Structure 1
Amino acid sequence: MTKKIVLSLMAVGLSAAAMAQVRVGIKGGLNMANITTTNSGAVDNSRVLPSFHIGAIADFPLSEIISFQPGVFYTGKGSKLERGDDSNVTGYFRSETNPRYIEVPLNFVGKIPVGGQTKLFLGVGPYAAFGVGGQNKYEFNSPLGEMTGESSIKWDDDTPFTDDDPNQGFDKYKRFDYGGNILAGVEFGNFLISAQYGLGLGKILSGSDNSSNDKSKNRVWAFSLGYLLGGNR
């Protein structure tokens, strides 16, 4: 009985020690967003749309070199399309779609000390995202005149737990998105700088469940600055 009590106390002590090293903080930066346009999942680089992300992260040490880093972010994705020259009287067209999501990444990060409090890190993990807003915008001019406009993005009611969505439509986006992340960066003291590539695995257009190709999926490069409260391991 005494042995069990001692082992239990040791387990609690180790857990408390690990939790004492957990750090939380903020992270944000620039997104370079795009949406795939081909069956193979390629993107058109001319359609990259600048956006941003901001949110909170935590760093749970699992060993001396491995951490679990979940987070919650408000992030912008999407793409743009541009044809012609706005100084050309023969015609010009520009449109952009900028859906906004609440995204939850679950990244596992390996850290390599390189001296002092500086560490290089590499990570990978899944993400899940939920659409909460965004805008579609367009601008068109021709010899006949000019037109501009914008509208709020419409979302359907899909969830990972339903097989049918009575609210789907081709003028809407799927509210639920998911995929994976690959990231790399450097941590120095409480600060970090990182680059991350988000590979969307779900089609974003409502009613588009065709799994035979990789069109209409989110692709996002994210460049971030962050600050973690607490001592550096």
Structure 2
Amino acid sequence: MRTTRLFDQQGELKRRAKMKKVILLVVLFTSFVGILGAQPKVGVKIGLNMANVGSENDMEIIHTQFGAHLGAMLQYPVIPRFLVQTELLYTMKGYIYKSSDLVNNSAYKNNGGFDYLEIPILFKYNAIFPSIKFQPYMGTSIGLLLAAQAKLKTTYEGQSHCYNVDLKKDMKDFDLGLNLGIDTVIMEGLTIGLRYNIGLNKIYHDSMDLKNDDKANKNRTLMLSFGHLMDLD
């Protein structure tokens, strides 16, 4: 009975800690936009993610994982031609790893998927033309890991076995990123954007690192977005 109660208490503490992290992210988001006094634009966006993990040297064996992102954005003019844009996104990242052994007639596939709640803060230059705006930008982001799972498939002599592995306990709760990209605004509010999100910290705990170099096990995500902005009256 005492053991069961102890496990229940530990589970409750973990749930409370997770809730505090979510509240912290929301507070940071609302506090940042609250200090800006200019009239903002508000909008929504959705798009495609092409994600990977690791350094450029890993590209031969680690393949692109396709996912999606969606969320809300707030855009503030700070000074003429310059904007600050904050977002709250649900975004999917991950990787696909494949290997094969022709001699032993075997193959292995590891399909990893990570779900994040992410807050980017972007600093944009607003280049205005008669019927179009170009907004190149850079900025940072912080992501809270919501879920992480690997789908594994092993094949040996024609026999395949599939199983799932929960990766969340082996990964860090927060992911810091650098964002570089450009948005195009047409028809008074429709947006098309391309962004490269570069992870700045390793996503696994130190005991799980697959490499010793500081470039290993970091998220890399190319994001194609479509959205709509409108004045917040």
Aligned to 2:198: 199
Counterpart-to-counterpart distance in 2, 1:73 and 1:29: 11
Change beyond 3 A, Cα 1:141–1:131: same
Aligned to 1:136: 150
> Offset of 1:115 from its aligned partner?
1.6
Equivalent position amino acid for 1:126 in 2: T
- 1:109-149 CA-partner distances (Å, limit 9, x unpaired): 11111223x10110000111110113210111111621001
Aligned to 1:98: 113
Aligned to 1:115: 130
1:220 aligns with 2:218: no
> Offset of 1:89 from its aligned partner?
9.2
Equivalent position amino acid for 1:128 in 2: I
Change beyond 3 A, Cα 1:42–1:229: farther
Equivalent position amino acid for 2:87 in 1: G
Residue segments in structure 2 that go unaligned for 5+ positions in a row: 1-35
Counterpart-to-counterpart distance in 2, 1:211 and 1:64: 46
Change beyond 3 A, Cα 1:56–1:42: farther
Judge conservation of contact 1:34–1:43 (CA < 8 Å) in 2: no
- 1:50-72 CA-partner distances (Å, limit 9, x unpaired): 11111111111112311100111
Aligned to 2:28: none
1:60 aligns with 2:76: yes
Q: CA RMSD in A?
A: 2.6
Equivalent position amino acid for 1:185 in 2: D
Aligned to 1:175: 173
> Offset of 1:212 from its aligned partner?
5.4
Change beyond 3 A, Cα 1:187–1:34: same
1:125 aligns with 2:121: no
Aligned to 1:150: 164
* Paired positions, count: 193
Equivalent position amino acid for 1:80 in 2: I
Runs of 4+ in 1 over 3 A off after TM superposition: 208-212
Counterpart-to-counterpart distance in 1, 2:148 and 2:113: 5
Residue segments in structure 1 that go unaligned for 5+ positions in a row: 1-14, 156-171
Counterpart-to-counterpart distance in 1, 2:196 and 2:220: 7
Judge conservation of contact 1:190–1:230 (CA < 8 Å) in 2: no
Counterpart-to-counterpart distance in 1, 2:166 and 2:126: 41
Change beyond 3 A, Cα 1:67–1:34: same
The higher radius of gyration belongs to: 1
Aligned sequence identity (%):
25
Equivalent position amino acid for 1:96 in 2: N
Aligned to 1:184: 182
Change beyond 3 A, Cα 1:142–1:73: same
